[in-house]
Structure 1
Amino acid sequence: MKILASRLSSILAAVLLACTVHAADDAKPAAKTAPGGAAQGGAVADQHSSPPFLAVVNGTVISAGEFDTAANEAARQKFYHGTPPEGAVEELLREVATRMIERILLLEEIGRQGLKPDARAVEEKLSRYEQRYASSPRWQQERERILPSLRQRLEQDDMLAALEAKVRNVPPPAEDRVRAYYKANPDKFTEPEKMRLSLIVLKVDPSSPTSAWEAAEAEAGALRMRLTDGGADFAELARKHSADDSAQNGGDLGYLHRGMLPEGIQEKIDDMKPGDLSPPTRILQGYALFRYEAKQAAKHHDFATVRPRATDLLARDLADKAWTDFRAQLRKKARIELNTQRYPAIGALTAKSK
């Protein structure tokens, strides 16, 4: 029940945050200061040093409280309990600020275009909320207060999705553009070098004493001698001794490319060539023997083979560019005042003020 209440509180907070944007006529941010929240990591300036707002977008205020709440929630999700890398908090603040600014501009564009929400889809989503939290006392207590804001949020999200789909609906790329894209991006159409490996794993529990690890290493060494000096069959030994799922296939892992092997293993494989057998190698699960079976060279596919893929990738890139350019144009035409005194990190945002 506590977990449910916590999740519900987060949802309700997000709904209220997204639906409480104040008009500039109702607040004069430059006239006075008021305390606001502080984002994680101390990235926000002293809360009394400047007016309590993030930005004024075409006359609509994004308050410091709204921004701080959104930034704190984003930080919790992205960094959890870890220490953010240098500059990561500032970058996150800019991302959150950009999303909030663009949401206002996109909602304005929805109004200009006269888009309407899909009432049926919104009702279905509301119904799912009702079903999910029907047994929650918190939901029953807050339901009447939250539903109007929740409905508004869902309607806005539906229209925003429709607007994005409309902008991304670009014409299919012409043949010459697809060919040019194929030539300019050879790496996208090259199958990487692959290696075929076989594996035997002698399992050891990570918490086992040193003696257990030493015993597994010795057993792996004995199996290796049977393979190199006694002519034993690798597949047969794998089926009898390996704890890996590949044992039923005689240890055959099939063809793998770089990045598919655990860290630390690839470096050892790089020094091997087809036919080589590794020494006993300690891995997380125990001790392993690898046999390098074969290598498959990198292969660059001809245009005819990958034409559908090239077309799809280019179409996706063009749709992404259309959406990015559309949002950039909205920002360029907007009157945006950024409170860089309170939030120095957002000074890097390229917002044109009028």
Structure 2
Amino acid sequence: MPVSGPVHEALAALPLVDHHCHGAVTADLGADAFKSLITEGAAWPGISPFDSPVGVAVRRHCAPVLDLPRHAAPADYLARRRALGWREVNRRFLAASATEVFCVDTGYAPQPVTSPAELAVAAGAAACEVVRLEQLAEAVAAGGVKANGYASAFRTAAETAVRRAGVVAVKSVAAYRTGFALDPARPTDTEVTAAAARWLTHGGRLTDPVLVRHLLWTAVDLGLPLQLHTGFGDADVRLHRADPALLTDWLHLTAGTVPVVLLHCWPYHRQAAFLATVFEQVYLDVGLALHYTGPARCRAVLEEALEIAPFRKLLYSSDAFGVAEFHHLGALSFRQGLAALLQSRVDADELTLSDALRIASWTGRDNARRLYGPLVSEPSRPSGGRPTRKV
């Protein structure tokens, strides 16, 4: 049964800031396409993603949003989704998340998804943009730049991108490309030019360690919060190289510069919590793990993240991509998991109720407002949106 009590009521009423997510698909999905989007693995023959913790959570917690009974059969769920159409499905789940601001990573779109503005209109909320730096670097390389001009061209492209209206942060997927066991020092111009020459000769994705280091140091120079994917992801990531503790030396060198936000983190959320405890500039979330563990287990992940982390350092994100179910399920899991955690500490006299309510507000909204500034703390909704709830 869901937890009840004043902390649960406060979190249920709190408009969230989803500080890292992606767009929702703008097409009606067939069964195979939907199944592929609710797993970080694959829809293997004989093994349905519906027969997993996230699949069960979708049937339990998302089916009622589509006017279906809890635990609806997968075939009934998919049929109802098709009958409503993608616009209505997106509208229902995005509105059900009760999110007031979405910070949208626009750098990953293997299929058409909503823009930040379209996501905002569907949700009746506001949306900001997170710029993915690897995508910019690859666009610069594809544009025909010479090796000795790469560093300047990338910096110019990045500076131009972050000046776009609505941009609040930048992001790197270095965890996927090289992992974090990198030389922490800023590379020299000579090193960058030589690495660019090697890359531009062969093309493809940015995977050169020198150029990834250059990208991270350019991010520091840009002055905006830097989001870093860590931990759990799809099969493209080498998980042992995505441990944020490997960034320790780089974090020493970048102390006093920009906020560094460690995204998702599981199973390294305890390492991320340590880093947030000892480095002023480090923050964390457990975003992707929320909907993959679901309300049944997300409390355990949140408890481990909050064993030592300062309460002003944990942020909420859904990391939802593709299916709008995940925007809703991430929010629901966060609210229920954190409410159960905090209420149990109040009941055990480990927290006062006023402390618990402050922590709930900080992690669900106010930490992100403080970190990302006026575009998040004073959001304006797009034309056609609906007012968000205020508390």
TM-score by length of 1: 0.21
Larger gyration radius, structure 1 or structure 2:
1
